[in-house]
Amino acid sequence: MIAYRPQLCRFAALVAGVCWLALALARPQEKAGGDDPAIPAAWLDVLTGGLPIIVGAPHGGELRPSELPDRPVGVLLRDAGTDDLARRLADELGKQFGRRPHLIVCEVHRAKVDCNRELTEAAQGHPLTEALWRAYHRAVGEAADAVHREWGAGLYIDLHGQSHATARVEWGYRLKAADLALSDEKIDVDPALAGVVSVRDAVARSGKPFSAVVRGTNSLGGLLERAGFPSVPSPAHPHPGGGPYFSGGYNVQKYGSAGGGTLSAVQIEAPRRGVRDTAENRQRFAAALAAALGIWFREHYRIDLAAPSARGKTVPGR
Ligand SMILES: [Zn+2]
């Protein structure tokens, strides 16, 4: 008895260790959040819309609630004006097409939470910050379900702001500057890029070459460039040309269709000068983007955003 008791103890310790490890591994990092602490409604602005469009503004918030600690590391600057720009875009879409998009604006400052990063960097271990992060992504997930149910496919727009020296709108589809530097003939047939691009489903539905969807005349960049907002990629600026360029971050990867699914995604990096700097410019950009989305959906999805049916209507024979 005495001889093997230490072995029993070691065995019990081993079992306990394995059980603890199993429990630790079983706890998903991005859990559903059912046991999350409640967050104040003012921290997150969620609008349930009726279009196949979801507008997210993860970095537009200004609130600095004392309950949330400052994040010690990470990018802490907010994208000024993107909260207002997102709301103006929602209103413009409503005005032009009779229905608004789904809208999710994080009203808390990026110094406290980053809803365009994975959870560890976003919340840095604080339970209430984690609850806010999960609420943002739960709202996007619910909007995505509604879009799928009502329209079959759609677009998530992640709205951001940058202050690069060349003031132009940067459209991020997860394609690197080096990818965009390739010719249309090359990107149209590169199977590796087809598996990366966040609008993969839109390209499949369009039936047009890959390059036409991301930088052709009727790409979002092409349409906004024509409306007076210099854009990259677009026919005029097919690639960033060596300057700084944001190709699309966490949310575009998470919600885009590169890995399958019917929700595509694009990151819009709006310059300050000419787009975010004044209420008038934000309004001009919102109106131009809403009109461009109408053309983009008609051109690539054969969906008429103004169709009276809540289910949406495809545009017959063009
Ligand atoms: Zn941002």
19 C-alpha to center of ligand 1: Å?
41
85 C-alpha to center of ligand 1: Å?
13
Averaged pLDDT, 207-221: 97
232 C-alpha to center of ligand 1: Å?
17
Averaged pLDDT, 289-294: 98
Predicted pLDDT at 225: 98
Contacts with 106 (C-beta within 8 Å, 6 or more apart), sequence order: 43, 44, 57, 58, 59, 60, 61, 113, 115, 132, 136
Predicted pLDDT at 309: 55
58 C-alpha to center of ligand 1: Å?
7
Distance from C-alpha of 279 to C-alpha of 227, rounded to nearest angstrom: 18
Averaged pLDDT, 249-271: 98
Whether 313 shows a pLDDT value over 70: the answer reads: no
Domains identified in the chain and CATH numbers: 41-301 (3.40.630.40)
76 C-alpha to center of ligand 1: Å?
10
184 C-alpha to center of ligand 1: Å?
29
78 C-alpha to center of ligand 1: Å?
7
Distance from C-alpha of 59 to C-alpha of 246, rounded to nearest angstrom: 15
* pTM confidence score: 0.88
169 C-alpha to center of ligand 1: Å?
13
Averaged pLDDT, 125-150: 97
Contact present, 81 and 60 (Cβ < 8 Å): yes
Contact present, 36 and 130 (Cβ < 8 Å): yes
Contacts with 239 (C-beta within 8 Å, 6 or more apart), sequence order: 177, 180, 181, 232, 233
Whether 63 shows a pLDDT value over 80: the answer reads: yes
Which residues are registered as beta bridge partners of 47?
Answer: 103
160 C-alpha to center of ligand 1: Å?
4
Averaged pLDDT, 93-120: 98
Which residues are registered as beta bridge partners of 169?
Answer: 231
Whether 263 shows a pLDDT value over 60: the answer reads: yes
HSE-CB of 117 using CA atoms within 13 angstroms: 19
15 C-alpha to center of ligand 1: Å?
46
Predicted pLDDT at 31: 56
Predicted pLDDT at 62: 98
3-class SS string, the chain:
CCCCHHHHHHHHHHHHHHHHHHHHHHCCCCCCCCCCCCCCHHHEEEECCCCCEEEEECCCCCECCCCCCCCCCCCCCCCCCHHHHHHHHHHHHHHHHCCCCEEEEECECCCCCCCCCCHHHHHCCCHHHHHHHHHHHHHHHHHHHHHHHHHCCEEEEEEEEECCCCCCEEEECCCCHHHHCCCHHHHHHCHHHHCCCCCHHHHHHHCCCHHHHHHCCCCHHHHHHHCCCCEECCCCCCCCCCCCCCCCCHHHHHHCCCCCCCEEEEEEEEEHHHHHCCHHHHHHHHHHHHHHHHHHHHHHCCEECCCCCCCCEECCCC
Averaged pLDDT, 230-251: 96
Predicted pLDDT at 34: 72
Q: Identify the residue with better confidence: 152 or 314.
A: 152
130 C-alpha to center of ligand 1: Å?
19
13 C-alpha to center of ligand 1: Å?
47
Predicted pLDDT at 35: 84
57 C-alpha to center of ligand 1: Å?
8
174 C-alpha to center of ligand 1: Å?
15
40 C-alpha to center of ligand 1: Å?
23
311 C-alpha to center of ligand 1: Å?
32
140 C-alpha to center of ligand 1: Å?
17
Displacement of CA 170 from its chain's centroid (Å): 14
